[in-house]
Amino acid sequence: MTLQRWVFLRKLTAAAASSSPPFSLPSSLSCCTHVLGFSQSAAANMAEEAKKLAAYSAVDNNVQNNQVVGVGSGSTIVYAVDRLAERVRQEKLNIVCVPTSFQARQLILQHGLALSDLERHPELDVAIDGADEVDAQLTLIKGGGGCLTQEKIIAGNSKCFVVIADYRKDSSVLGEQWKKGVPIEVIPMAYVPVSRVIAKRFGGEVNLRMAVSKAGPVVTDNSNFILDWKFEDVQNWSEVNTAIKMIPGVVETGLFVNMAERAYFGMEDGSVKVRKAPAN
């Protein structure tokens, strides 16, 4: 089934179910609707293809020879490293990679790329990373994978910070698509008072992120905890980010404000949408 046909059938079925009164699909289409029974699998495959499109486009348009490249974390970055390694082999590029996490470090080593760090390369030419959500101003929520602090350090020390994502992460305002809140890395002993202060000052709900395959909370690469703040309203994110970082015990927030230069979104129709940061 083609991408366009899948999208058409999904929308048509949704319209049939939500209309008042409901209507039945024509017999010419009913034979195809069984495909929607595994629509979740199809949607997942579509999202993966969109991630790959965004990653490949970002690497092709932003990485050049003799550069130091910051390598982000998450599922989308896997495709970026695949493409980066492919270009290094084919074009004989001299590229040095600085990782944002244990995962990124392993990807770099597995692909035989040159590994470095901020001690040897304190200034990077470009950093490429994913995002949990991107708004119209290129403000990001990051940290769904728990690597927000290292990711922000790498992005902040790069001449150019590029974001890659699929169409599900593209929003007009934060919170439109991503419903898990803003990740906040905290010193373990401070997670309760920090949670109370954030909820009191900014509203919403603050939860300690619990691990899935171990007992207890998620522990970051820095041996800290993660709080997820589910905010209620659109905020002045620059002010909120600064205010939260001033709370004793907060290490870093997953709000990336005025950091990204451009974002590449892999779309449902197989295209790639590029959004540039607004001019200041």
DSSP-derived secondary structure for 218-251: ---TTS-EEEEEE-SS---HHHHHHHHHTSTTEE
Residue 93 phi, psi dihedral angles, 5° rounding: -75, 145
Helix (H, G, I), strand (E, B) or coil at 167: helix
Judged on CB neighbours under 10 Å (0-12, 13-18, 19+), 262 is middle
Which helix (H) or strand (E) covers residue 170, if one does?
Answer: none
133, 151, 185, 268: the active-site residue: 151
CA-based end-to-end distance of the chain: 44
Q: Are 169 and 146 spatial neighbours (Cβ–Cβ below 8 Å)?
A: no
Q: Is 151 a catalytic residue?
A: yes
Catalytic center residues: 151
